[in-house]
Structure 1
């Protein structure tokens, strides 16, 4: 294993070397509504890939297509890893979603070291109707016009007069306008004042229903980038020129073309690979001007090459057998040149050599360098960088191998598969490791998995380069004889300017978070001065309360370790004393400002690939089979909650007309029966007794302040109603302390109808185009209708809710050792067959894994990922056949 002396400050070229790398392994790339997103998380040192000791808490967010924060998880990290899940509601609207993961420490390094992944959620049942159709660009005398037709009645049967339409052009410019119906038809005709590549169209009906579409307006457009090897083209010198061709969505595009001089003479040709990347050789002259033209696509665009420099420097890197050749060229009068070799922001060593005829050539064995991306930097006589080149060093053998032994060569459906798994180092010795095991129906999920961002491409490639890398898994397929050529083309075209270990200034504003903790400040309530030596009593409420004490320091600061919180939220009480007496001090908990949400609208452009379409069709066929079985067996679907003896009062009718009928009803008597002597209001009772329906948490926008309620299993945004009326958000802080005795019921409405209109009533100053398209409602009914104004905040005491670690759940798999279950006619249609995120291998002993095969596939692909204590990373996949048998033909 490559060892780097991280403590030697003089070797650190970039503070990014102190960052952590965060990786999430998912069970699949895209998800049907109603399924579960399973993920394993790894937090490793950036430099040596050893499990990080800086962070024990990982923050994972699920973000919707309208930049709404749908759900958050706190994942406990032990020895660099943890795992958790997101449950996707059946009613979740289809579209592009995002998951991001970060540690508090990694916020110091900006977006570069925040993990993110975009994925699709698609409906299990096909939906063919579209509310926005016939989107076209029409050329008229007055100019180019964007035209579209809207069918709001497909969403909103009560829509009558006008709709609100929002336009986002090229992810930046936005406009909104009202469209009235003309003979029942809603049409948009919008003049485009500038060249627009793609557009997002959002529609809002009178009753709050929304729809959106994102399309490319020029699907024939090609973005051809021409990138000299180390940043510049140098006169009279052999230059390597990287070629990168992207389609309208930013995906790689195969192209062929020519490089022409100003007389249109062909200088050279080029050809890209399937990822849109290629390399050509050119010897340019400073007196010439060059352009590139694409020849295999109907495209008349001319793409100018960068200016050819009369004076300058270039650095070229080549693999020659088992050696790395370095060729530095300069027009300066220098006796010698220096090349610096660095690795993930750490200087390895410098090479200095004589210049002959403007060139300095040298070569080194590949084994003197670590495995992964190297940065070669050409320095001038003042030790300033004048040229740089990224290069991937493949040492030719795996650092870590995974050996798997199966108990059979082939299996039958519902038969148990047993695996014995060893992890070995480069010498073949069994070693300790932590592994995950994932088994999938190979068709069609296998093809999606093999192209994705698995552990090897992520830690050795994606995590170190800015920008999108298409199908990164394919670069690590050792059966592909062109993979090293392709990975070199990637690094040449991705460019050293996109290397994350550059010299960008980094300020350490965020401390490490090795354990889950809260900290804050105590101050006087009149002059707001910090209060020293205040005795604080901390109580984490619950069935087994936890008590701690702390005395504030000279700046009034306090700290409590809450690493024991293994639930989503926990109610706490902090009380202050001074000289043995209770005091009326202000107690505030520090909370870092929320992380801004970045969502690339180009991701939403409608261009599903063939693999994705196959997966959607596959999942929908499975769903149809399941429904057919349930209909034949008389199984009742329970998608809707049947509310027995529901008294439709006037207030409830108002709510039902505005938001819909409730999914959950919590009777006031149940709330009152569960009230404890330490309870202080409605939210404290809901927090501990109804956590599967409502989450109670502290409002991060108001440190130490009010609690907020959020619906579990909903759309992500929750508003409050009381006695049939929407509550203004300015009054939300009054709700938590409503006496339980005043409550008749608390009701949950998931995916409420007319939600956008309700949201505008709750947040009257919100921009109409930033209103969430879907959301949930918590409706509270009281006896006297005035409890919201009776809440008082106690003095000298802080009662609030804090987030704990998100509970994990076990992956379900059937057990066919039960013969009745084995012979059941109920189809086993699992696409994700098995998932075990954390298995520890110790003392070289093999891991033993077993599971049962489903009915719906003829091949299973198994993916195993491993991390060792000293930073070794391993990946292994294999496939085995499954014979499908008629269950009725299997003997006892």
Structure 2
């Protein structure tokens, strides 16, 4: 019997050590020490897991997404003390970030919210979160989940995919009047597929229908559409283009299908949407003899056993779910010699069986690891190619364990993942409710406590309608989903709370998705970790010589002034590479103004090249199989009617010339990428002022861009004085006519707190100034982006844009030049708000305004001590049905608790 325990001393406290050192030298020193540790198998052991718990998975426009964030050490699920900042983003189906927050992590814990604006397009949105430190680990440790956002009324058939005579052409029928009753003769359409985006105008044909015929490249599986009406209303929808199909893979235990021994093979079947699908089928050999039959579970997974012959070939035929369609697949190739590694649960022990036709009486090694940490390595000599090792389950950590078979030279031969189920590892939650059924509007009382908490734990409680619950929870995420690549379909299928109820089905998952999808697999010294952790808010950048941006300046005095609620001042010298990095105290809001200044040794301002580090966001990876879609692959009733009537202006009298982009012709106008972006998004300019003309108008009486515009082009634009919340006065541009005016610099919206920097833009740096007068296209989302904290009800649907293009082409701050000075604004932590629950008043027919119209209760920040009883009062609303209480707990030592309880609400 083998007992393996990783000693506490061997599990190095890297994360806390790193936080005490703020310089690159300390970072490199610790990294070198890490490589010397022989219990760290993979680089990913040093990563941080990120988990977001949302109150539910479905929302409507105007509601709030409440979420709690947990950042934990990947190696042991202990809340992380390393990162102090978490980046959270809400991404629409067109892969545009529509909301972003910086969260102030307190020992790995934070909570916040996103308000769903009324101008958001309905569809499936991605919620993602990451720390700067996790950029060292590719995309494996970037949290992603998907939320459905719909209108408050169901809309059907806005887009229909309909049959076409030509199989290479796809036809669509649009009904934009369902989302905008003011739609007249045209609307804008964006098509996204195969990493490309096309934009065009769809016009009503002679029969009064909006039609599109489109040829897609072969193999295109999905197309995502965004309809934008002339009044600015939007609708998004993802539609599968492929016909119903099934893909099935057979994956041998250990990695290879080996001749001459009995092989366990896991299989998984998925449909054209990437979802598991139940199948039944048969395996045949080359002589059409039946070898075995199989049947999957509802998620398309199962297992078979085969004793293959050398050089044999096999094929698979599926009988279900398409009985009328014969589906045949090739099978995994047979290898003549190899080794397998099997793991079976025997009481409180795990039996690891080695079977090899490659080695007979040789010595082999079995390495045991968990979350990138080596727990031990055992050498054994094979006897006639076989050997069995026994391990006590309690000597191994709970969760996914990796058993790796190696030859005597430590070359890998086979690998097997196994879920070690230890009930004692979970935090038991004791829950009591006064009764199981309540009336609408009645208050429900509940109590809960958790035992086994060593010091302190963080808990959250949410109460929602049962049908809106998330399939993912804190337990199945930290113990399963976070350690396997790809999306785990229905992770709660395997567990009831923290109890493993389908061990065989979970083993099938590890045989298939875990076969090539384990997240902890990069050697520690294989790749450098070049991104430092983000301990706090900060400003970092570099100083270079004025006329040589590659010549970095060491020892330059850099001062930073921050204009938050209180003005703060910081100074430091650049390092040997010309870099500076200011760490700031916590501040809340959206952005605050800041000014950086450089001086030489004599204390005089020097006009060095001063640049800020770019915020390098991870590439957006949107899983189209998660998107909301409808497949209307049918003959339209309208089409059938028009066919029977034999009308000459048929429903399908499709004229491709009808749906073309509006042509824009401006003489001597260079269509740069920035101008193209603005034109595609908002429309063509009505006024274009050349930058050379602006520069020629500047004199000692009207310096700065706004001064020149006011003096020489006052008939087209005026300026009004405003004062922000900090008392700073600034000029705001207003296009003649008085409508709300938004400023873009090189296509980048200027946020409200940066308007003060616009008046003094040097005309010599401006290539052109352009006015877009009275636009409606995309103006509402642009306004909300610039003014995120204004009342959404006051958002104008129409306005103007002042588009400024600079020679640098990189936005406002690269165009602002002062001697040794850089003006900027920096993001700060997002403020939180409380979940508001109104008191129920029986005499009224409805609840007062509050947040619990759907989600009844949300509290993400409960502090728990061992066996401490927490009492909560839940205000039920007027909606009857089954309600679900979800309690999630994580302790400071990484132990996790989860409880899910239902109760009824009746009229």
TM-score range, shorter chain: 0.7 to 0.9
Q: 1:825 and 2:849 equivalent?
A: no
Q: 1:14 and 2:42 equivalent?
A: yes
User: What's the offset of the Cα at 1:202?
Assistant: 6.0
Name the CA distance, whole Å, in 1 between partners of 2:198 and 2:58. Answer: 32
Name the CA distance, whole Å, in 2 between partners of 1:604 and 1:409. Answer: 36
Name the CA distance, whole Å, in 2 between partners of 1:213 and 1:600. Answer: 14
User: Cα RMSD (Å) of the superposition?
Assistant: 4.2
Q: 1:290 and 2:314 equivalent?
A: yes
| Contact in 2 for aligned 1:262/1:289 (Cα 8 Å) | yes
Deviation digits for residues 521-556 of structure 1, max 9, x if unmatched? 233323444344433332221442222232333443
How do 1:354-753 residues align onto structure 2 when only pairs under 5 Å count? 354-406=381-433, 410-425=437-452, 432-442=456-466, 444-445=467-468, 448-449=469-470, 452-477=471-496, 483-503=502-522, 505-528=526-549, 529-578=551-600, 579-604=602-627, 606=629, 671-672=721-722, 682=732, 708-710=749-751, 735=758, 737=760, 753=776
| Contact in 2 for aligned 1:22/1:102 (Cα 8 Å) | yes
How do 1:251-290 residues align onto structure 2 when only pairs under 5 Å count? 251-290=275-314
Distance 1:482 1:552, change over 3 A: closer
Q: 1:326 and 2:376 equivalent?
A: no
User: What's the offset of the Cα at 1:158?
Assistant: 7.0
Alignment correspondent of 2:335: 309
Q: 1:85 and 2:99 equivalent?
A: no
Name the CA distance, whole Å, in 1 between partners of 2:682 and 2:742. Answer: 22
Q: Matched residue of 1:473: which SS?
A: helix
Determine which of 95, 106, 111 is the counterpart of 1:67. Answer: 95
Q: Matched residue of 1:806: which SS?
A: coil
Name the CA distance, whole Å, in 1 between partners of 2:900 and 2:725. Answer: 53
Name the CA distance, whole Å, in 2 between partners of 1:530 and 1:794. Answer: 19
Alignment correspondent of 2:672: none
| Contact in 1 for aligned 2:369/2:376 (Cα 8 Å) | yes
| Contact in 2 for aligned 1:159/1:205 (Cα 8 Å) | no
Task: Give the TM-score normalised by the residue count of structure 2.
Answer: 0.75
Q: Matched residue of 1:598: which SS?
A: coil
Q: 1:793 and 2:817 equivalent?
A: yes
User: What's the offset of the Cα at 1:599?
Assistant: 1.6
User: What's the offset of the Cα at 1:456?
Assistant: 0.6
Deviation digits for residues 343-370 of structure 1, max 9, x if unmatched? 1111111222232232222222211211
5+ residue gaps, structure 1: 609-654, 660-666, 686-692, 713-719, 721-731, 740-748, 760-773, 783-787, 885-892
| Contact in 1 for aligned 2:564/2:587 (Cα 8 Å) | no
Q: Matched residue of 1:342: which SS?
A: strand
Q: Matched residue of 1:456: which SS?
A: helix
Deviation digits for residues 643-694 of structure 1, max 9, x if unmatched? xxxxxxxxxxxx99999xxxxxxx99984355978656659x9xxxxxxx99
User: What's the offset of the Cα at 1:176?
Assistant: 7.8
Q: Matched residue of 2:597: which SS?
A: strand
Q: Matched residue of 2:320: which SS?
A: coil
Task: Give the TM-score normalised by the residue count of structure 1.
Answer: 0.76
5+ residue gaps, structure 2: 13-35, 632-680, 686-716, 735-739, 763-771, 783-794, 804-811
| Contact in 1 for aligned 2:171/2:214 (Cα 8 Å) | yes
User: What's the offset of the Cα at 1:337?
Assistant: 2.3
Distance 1:441 1:159, change over 3 A: closer
Q: 1:343 and 2:384 equivalent?
A: no
Name the CA distance, whole Å, in 2 between partners of 1:570 and 1:115. Answer: 28
Q: Matched residue of 2:327: which SS?
A: coil
Stretch deviating more after TM superposition (226-235 or 431-440): 431-440
Alignment correspondent of 2:27: none
Distance 1:781 1:285, change over 3 A: closer
User: What's the offset of the Cα at 1:87?
Assistant: 0.3
Deviation digits for residues 193-248 of structure 1, max 9, x if unmatched? 74554444566789988765433344531111111111111101111111101112
Determine which of 870, 876, 880 is the counterpart of 2:893. Answer: 870
User: What's the offset of the Cα at 1:83?
Assistant: 0.6
User: What's the offset of the Cα at 1:291?
Assistant: 1.1
Name the CA distance, whole Å, in 1 between partners of 2:748 and 2:562. Answer: 16
Name the CA distance, whole Å, in 2 between partners of 1:455 and 1:859. Answer: 22
Q: Matched residue of 1:326: which SS?
A: strand
User: What's the offset of the Cα at 1:377?
Assistant: 0.8
| Contact in 2 for aligned 1:167/1:200 (Cα 8 Å) | yes
User: What's the offset of the Cα at 1:388?
Assistant: 0.8
Stretch deviating more after TM superposition (549-558 or 452-461): 549-558
Q: Matched residue of 1:520: which SS?
A: strand
| Contact in 2 for aligned 1:432/1:844 (Cα 8 Å) | no
| Contact in 2 for aligned 1:575/1:798 (Cα 8 Å) | yes
